[in-house]
Structure 1
Amino acid sequence: MKNIAEQIEAHILSGCKAGAERAIGAEIETIIYNSNGKRIPVNQGTEYSATDFMQAIDSGCKDLDTYLTCSLEPGGQFEWASHPAYHIHDIQQEFIAIQKTMNELCADHELTLIDLALDPIYNPNDIELINQHKYRLMHDCFMATGKHGPWMMRNTASVQVNIDLLSKQDAEECGYIADCISPLAVILFSNAPFMNNHPLGYENIRYRIWEDTDPARCGHLIDQGIHNSAGLLAQYCRYILDVPVIFITPDSSGETSAFNGTIKQWLE
């Protein structure tokens, strides 16, 4: 019988597209301000909220019979996810279409999309947290693990790239290369020139926020003793077993809950 790390590795590899053309995808997050220069609240209330925005986008795309996957980040950042695609231009066309819908909705409600990786004006104390228990548990966890957890949750936005894996070797090589080039990627794409209404100059605050969120989860593979691509996946699966749990999946009542222990302890 496979041990837990081997089972996790097998689960990851079960998604490989062996012999197939590699698909890619993108997830793009956006911060939204109202006409008064304030972040729109994430939860529904007396003001137009990020929840209202997401529901309107979802409804509009359903009326047009258009595929859409959207969600909200803990501070109300709107996230759009693309179809899997084989050409980056297909993702671009899909994003142009959703942007048109978003811009029309922004015009109707006097909203502005802030295409920065960090909220330029507000700090986390100014931004309410989404009304979901799992994010409250995440907030409580990150308050104890680093200085910038609330900043990451409420104040940052990102572009995430998804890439199909074709085999175990491909997965290990992709993971290793991505980790090696991440310092350069951070320099090129940080896109966070302001913080707390002040210019940051050459400081790469986006990187510092992520590095100081939770040392058990952040950093580079080399920080966990993984120095090359050979055997990377097995080492990575052993590493994640020792990471503390933030919350566990919903129970029969549909509620997430805390767990005081590592992923390995929970799985056992």
Structure 2
Amino acid sequence: MSIPQSGGGVIEHFGQLAEMMEAGNKPKSEWRIGTEHEKFGWLTDSRRPLPYAGAASISTLFTELSSRYGWTPVREGENTIGLTRNGANISLEPGGQFELSGAAVANMNETAAELQTHFDEVRSIADPLGIRFMGIGAAPEWGHSDMPVMPKGRYRLMTDYMGRVGTHGTQMMYRTSTVQVNLDYASEADMVKKLRVSLALQPVATALFASSPFFDGKLNGHKSWRSRIWRGLDNSRTGMLPFAFDEGFGFQAYVDWVLDVPMYFVYRDGKYINALGQSFRDFLKGELPAMPGEKPTLSDWADHMTTVFPEARVKKYIEMRGADCGDQAHINALPAFWVGLMYDQTALDAAWDLVKGFDAETREGLRVAASVDALQGAANGVKLLDLARAAVALSHAGLAARGMDEERFLAPLMQSIATGQTQADRWLALYNGAWGKSLTPIYEAASL
């Protein structure tokens, strides 16, 4: 979940909405990689989720990271809700998932170094306190009532609204974790091709990174329950964006879709004002019921853009959103996979050739199949294992062409391609075998 955005002053004309996205255009020499991952904290003496306050808590981690390692606190009211340092930030998901949003870096070697530094710093504080973290797509045993609630106004509003518009919204907020990467585009045409490829291949990422076969203390019938949750959340703001494949799609068409997504809030003077279900189009006319007579700022628009959750999302860059969190190697593999496909033109063109024949039914079918069966899934004659093999090969070639020794980060994906087994498959085999259908061992098995 995002922190309040900084976009600019009052919106003077409608074209500024698309212009904000267009401002993300960058020459290839300035393309960067921004990786985000969420993880569950847990207490080793009880296997309970990490609370916000107390001796062994998120608050203690924030305090010590600030004093020892130079992170600057971000506060909402009296509470520290995040940290910033050198273009990176640490933030909290609704159930206390501890998120690193990395700085924009030039290559995968810098991404991996940043991740290692993060783990080294966090472990130096967490280990003596009996705190560990899990890299897994969904909390395997904890119920909704077990989860701590973070002191963020945005989340209080969203929790209420999620219960009205879907069946799985609060599960997503409080009991799932993901890894994402943010990548740049050069132009509107480049954005369009990258978004189409990333949407069509998002089921491959879901399959390769599937790590959530357990929920509520039992098997859930899916290898990525996190992905299943997104299919029962809020159809107005999620999904595979079939309109992105229409002729003429571009910045304005994306803006038009976001404008039709109901609002959550307006952020003013450190507070979240309830605008649940209201229209940003009305806001543009000064007719928002929550703030009658007021016109929105570009910061308000930037905030609203963070409340849409498709499988790939556009802001001033593109976010790849389809993967469960996993171990450290998989956290690095996710950005490597997409960088290889997106940042080499030959690989990107070949990836588009791979998927351009898919219709909306096939793309959605693959999304469903990936959540249920991971690499063993298929839709309309397209087998996810075959598609993943081809996509990973293209990514490997794209990374090799960059000449930075980044292709090594694809190793866990290549192993999954060779065996057909994902993290979820391996854990299921252990659960049904050596673990004796107990989930107690998952905490250690998934530890970061």
1:61-140 correspondence to structure 2 within 5 Å: 61-62=69-70, 67=86, 68-140=88-160
Distance in 1 of aligned mates of 2:59 and 2:162: 24
User: Counterpart in 1 of 2:267?
Assistant: 249
Deviation per CA, 1:14-43, whole angstroms, max 9, x where unpaired? 12213533211101111000021000113x
Q: Give the length in aligned residue pairs.
A: 259
Distance in 2 of aligned mates of 1:54 and 1:230: 47
Q: Does 2:57 correspond to 1:31?
A: no
1:53 aligned to which of 37, 41, 61: 61
2:178 aligned to which of 133, 155, 158: 158
Where does the alignment leave 5 or more consecutive residues of structure 1 unmatched?
none
Deviation per CA, 1:122-176, whole angstroms, max 9, x where unpaired? 1222213212221100111111111111111111111110112211111111111
Q: Kindly state the Cα deviation for residue 201 of structure 1 after the two structures are TM-superposed.
A: 5.0
1:17 aligned to which of 4, 9, 26: 26
Give the conservation status (yes or no) of the 8 Å contact 1:29–1:79: yes
Instruction: Identify if the C-alpha distance between structure 1 residues 81 and 229 changes in structure 2 by more than 3 Å, giving closer, same or farther.
Output: farther
Structure 1 residue identity aligned to 2:51 = P
Where does the alignment leave 5 or more consecutive residues of structure 2 unmatched?
1-10, 72-84, 286-448
Q: Does 2:236 correspond to 1:236?
A: no
1:266 aligned to which of 277, 283, 289: 283
Instruction: Identify if the C-alpha distance between structure 1 residues 98 and 229 changes in structure 2 by more than 3 Å, giving closer, same or farther.
Output: farther
Distance in 2 of aligned mates of 1:95 and 1:196: 30
Distance in 2 of aligned mates of 1:128 and 1:29: 15
Give the conservation status (yes or no) of the 8 Å contact 1:71–1:80: yes
Three-state SS of the structure 1 residue aligned to 2:30 is: coil
Q: TM-score, normalised by structure 1?
A: 0.89
Give the conservation status (yes or no) of the 8 Å contact 2:39–2:134: yes
Q: TM-score, normalised by structure 2?
A: 0.55
Greater strand share, structure number: 2
Percent identical among aligned pairs is: 25
Three-state SS of the structure 2 residue aligned to 1:130 is: coil
CA-atom RMSD in angstroms: 2.1
Three-state SS of the structure 2 residue aligned to 1:136 is: helix
User: Counterpart in 1 of 2:162?
Assistant: 142
Give the conservation status (yes or no) of the 8 Å contact 1:54–1:78: no
Q: Kindly state the Cα deviation for residue 199 of structure 1 after the two structures are TM-superposed.
A: 2.9
Distance in 1 of aligned mates of 2:179 and 2:62: 18
